[in-house]
Amino acid sequence: MIKVGVVGGTGYTGVELLRLLALHPQVQLAVITSRGEAGTAVADLFPNLRRYIDLAFSEPDPVALAGCDLVFFATPNGIAMQMTRELVDAGVRIVDLAADFRLQDPALWQQWYGMPHACEELLAEAVYGLPEMNREAISSARLVANPGCYPTAVQLGFLPLLEAGSVGTDVLIADCKSGVSGAGRGASVGALLAETAESMKAYAVPGHRHLPEIRQGLAQICRKDVGLTFVPHLTPMIRGIHATLYAHLDDQGADLQALYETRYAAEPFVDVLPAGSHPETRSVKGANYCRIAVHRAPDSSQVVVLSVIDNLVKGAAGQAVQNMNIMFGLDETSGLRTIALMP
């Protein structure tokens, strides 16, 4: 059994992580921390976990966490980097669901997150946890930076095209929509039902924090910088991300459907839909899948890729569990064989 600690178990990502870990056949949940809810039974705060988790939240204790085999950080940005060095030195493996170790350049981190990096010496070692790109490196990693939700949907959508060199890289467009849970569990006026229902809006158009992460990942795929326009939108749903991706096709004879089907044939959590399909966010709700459809715009060289994920699962907690499975040599799908919820 893998002895697991979860730091920050009260947010949407944290409770989703607990939901998945509670039924994982190889996991023993040992520590679940929350400074604000210390002493409260987990099941009292999240009644869906009643009869599955009998632990109480506790203060983050480095000694207790050092007794774990792996610690997940489901904390706000800037927290994991304060504790990771000590835990890694104690032999604990880390999966950070925040952004602390995603960007390799500490100056870029400070530019986008407004604080100096507290653990620069581990940035080069941290492995970016997109299994479809970095599975081998993840398997031996001490520290995995779990990707963001938008970056997961966008990178998986563009990956086959960029690997094959089938499209130009100067003008890539990611038009993305997210459910309100992507904003987190903290109270804010912008996330109120009366503010989000029956409405949709773009936000962070001048620059979203996920932009440098996506650019970094796409540049690693094609080994050169890319020109990316990324526009996120808030939609009146709780869960889900829908990414509509555009690129100019350089290889006019490319069989796009075959390209995607071949690239993802062995991937357990990427589902390439039949030609002409339009994936829906409800088809991945609560599940660790990315469902993709690829189209060629009529009478043009424009490629349109549709990529959908659940932002809390494949976009966060599910992918984190997938990374843990890889790190410990388990069946990659262990604890993740959940069918999406419909309706």
Residues annotated as catalytic are 149
Residue 97, number of CB atoms within 10 A of its CB: 30
Q: What is the bridge-based pairing of β-strands 143-145 and 270-272?
A: unpaired
Cα distance between residue 109 and residue 69, in whole Å: 28
Within 10 angstroms of residue 244's Cβ, the number of other Cβ atoms is 17
Cβ 244 vs Cβ 250: under 8 Å: no
Q: Write the CB contacts of 256 (distance below 8 Å, at least 6 apart in sequence).
A: 161, 166, 294, 295, 296, 303
Among the residues of 223-305, which ranges form H helices?
256-263
Element (H, E) at 325: helix 318-327
Question: Residues 185, 14: contact at Cβ < 8 Å?
Answer: no
- Kindly list the distances between the CA atom of residue 170 and the CA atoms of 222, 316, 331, in Å, as whole numbers in the listed order: 12, 29, 38
The CA distance from 32 to 75, in Å, is 12
